[in-house]
Amino acid sequence: SSPHLIAAAAICDPELTMTCPPGLTAIAGADALTHAVEAFTAARRGTDPGLPQQHVFIGKSALTDHFALLAIKLLGRSLE
């Protein structure tokens, strides 16, 4: 991984998905669920203060656990 791979900005507009075929929407939802589970089961890293400057992935934390569990809950209710 490289810090140069981090986007400066992202456009997250759910309206852009309204015309997608249902199959594509289901696949995207399953992919999002996979990422949420991966985030929750990630390994914790040490407390090295230079870690965020050296690596893109810095491990899990209480904050990432919160959002991963929230995503799993919301996606679980949305996917059929």
pLDDT, one tens digit per residue, over 13-71 is 989 989 999 999 999 999 999 999 999 998 877 666 666 566 556 678 899 999 999 99
Residue 61: its pLDDT value, please?
Answer: 85
Looking at the domain assignment, is residue 74 inside a domain? yes
Looking at the domain assignment, is residue 5 inside a domain? no
Q: Which of 80, 61, 74 is nearest to 32 (CA)?
A: 74
Looking at the domain assignment, is residue 8 inside a domain? no
| C-alpha–C-alpha distance, residues 65 and 18, integer Å | 29
Residue 29: its pLDDT value, please?
Answer: 93
Looking at the domain assignment, is residue 46 inside a domain? yes
| C-alpha–C-alpha distance, residues 79 and 15, integer Å | 18
Contacts of residue 59, Cβ cutoff 8 Å, sequence gap at least 6? 42, 43, 44, 45
Domain span at 34: 22-78
Domain count, the chain: 1
State the pTM of this model: 0.71
Residue 58: its pLDDT value, please?
Answer: 65
